[in-house]
């Protein structure tokens, strides 16, 4: 088993006033040759957008883009005709494929919106662009790792053009569980959203990240009440 630890304070950081963003991997003006991606996981941005502000219309192609709101409301509009609001408890995905244009705006004028934006390299290029959104059952995340992203369009959560599985869990202090990988050769990138956990005996704090490869199973113990995101992805990019 191999592990690579990314402490929260080592992430790239850009504060544009309206946007305060922390980058686990190289992004925009932040470049670290040792932190370009983790397998098919290309971007993990921890974003806070000021009240009434947001990202104007901009393009993407050939990327699986997943948004997980942490607080507040994020308004989405795209060239496929979708116009929605996502909030804490929702997961959104866009398969950019041959190309899309979209905007993301804070839907409120009196509070910030916080969300994770995650990019995953697809295993199929130039697919027809697609949008998906689900609202999670919070009860299913209590002391459990709930699957929220998978390659199976009939499974719980949203589906992606990649052999990738994401899971979210809200774990009570002292609770232990395990995670078995879905595909041999995949790795898992764990990101602690809140609280403190231990994964395979490695202590992690709020906003720390841990990449784990060459193992079939993880053991996770919450050392405080904690929220953790596991991102299982192929380590080879197709």
| Residue pLDDT, tens place only, 125-148 | 999 999 999 999 999 999 999 999
pTM: 0.97
Locate tokens 């088993």: which residue?
Answer: 1
Residue 166's nearest CA partner among 186, 185, 184 is 186
106 band by pLDDT with thresholds 50, 70 and 90: very high
Burial per residue of 119-157, b for 16 or more beta-carbon CB atoms within 10 angstroms, e otherwise:
bbbbbeeeeebbbbbbebeeeebeeebbbbbbeeeeeeb
Distance CA 169, CA 171 (A): 6
Residue 238 has pLDDT above 80, yes or no: no
**Which tens digit of pLDDT belongs to each residue from 6-60?**
999 999 999 999 999 999 999 999 999 999 999 999 999 999 999 999 999 999 9
Helix (H) or strand (E) holding 27: none
- Distance between CA 63 and CA 78 in Å, rounded? 15
Is the pLDDT confidence value at 237 over 90? Answer: no
pLDDT value at 5 more than 90: yes
pLDDT score, position 101:
97
**Each residue of 177-234: pLDDT tens digit?**
999 999 999 999 999 999 999 999 999 999 999 999 999 999 999 999 999 999 999 9
Beta-carbon-side half-sphere exposure of residue 181 (alpha carbons within 13 Å):
22
Task: Give CA 102 to chain center in angstroms.
Answer: 18
Task: Give the per-residue pLDDT at 53.
Answer: 97
- Kindly state the average pLDDT of the residues 48-76: 97
Name which of 31, 66, 114, 54 is nearest 233 in CA terms.
Answer: 66
Tokens of 118: 């995650």
Classify 219 as helix, strand or coil. Answer: strand
Confidence of residue 108 (pLDDT cuts 50, 70, 90): very high
For residue 212, how far is the Cα from the chain centroid? 16
Task: Give the C-alpha separation, 85 to 27, whole Å.
Answer: 25
With beta carbons less than 8 A apart as the criterion, state whether 150 and 165 touch: yes
β-strand partners of 30: 27
Helix (H) or strand (E) holding 204: strand 202-204
For residue 221, which of 197, 191, 194, 186 has the smallest C-alpha distance? 197
CATH class of the region 2-234 = mainly beta
The residue whose two tokens read 């662009």 is 129
């Amino acid at each position: 088993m191999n592990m690579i630890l990314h402490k929260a304070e080592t992430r790239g950081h850009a504060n544009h006033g309206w946007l305060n963003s922390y980058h686990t991997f190289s992004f925009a003006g932040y470049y670290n040759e040792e932190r370009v991606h983790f397998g098919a996981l290309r971007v993990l941005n921890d974003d806070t957008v000021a009240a009434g502000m947001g990202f104007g219309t901009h393009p993407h192609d050939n990327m699986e883009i997943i948004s997980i709101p942490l607080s507040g409301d994020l308004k989405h509009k795209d060239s496929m005709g979708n116009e929605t609001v996502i909030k804490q408890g929702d997961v959104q995905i866009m398969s950019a494929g041959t190309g899309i244009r979209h905007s993301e705006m804070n839907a409120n004028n009196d509070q910030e919106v916080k969300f994770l934006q995650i990019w995953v390299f697809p295993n199929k290029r130039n697919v027809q662009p697609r949008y998906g959104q689900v609202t999670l059952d919070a009860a299913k995340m209590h002391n459990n790792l709930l699957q929220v992203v998978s390659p199976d369009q009939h499974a719980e959560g949203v589906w992606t053009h990649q052999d990738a599985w994401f899971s979210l869990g809200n774990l009570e202090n002292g609770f232990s569980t395990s995670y078995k990988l879905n595909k041999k050769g995949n790795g898992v990138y764990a990101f602690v959203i809140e609280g403190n956990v231990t994964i395979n005996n490695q202590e992690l704090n709020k906003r720390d990240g841990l990449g784990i490869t060459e193992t079939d199973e993880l053991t996770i113990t919450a050392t405080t009440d904690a929220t953790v995101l596991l991102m299982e992805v192929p380590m080879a990019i197709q």
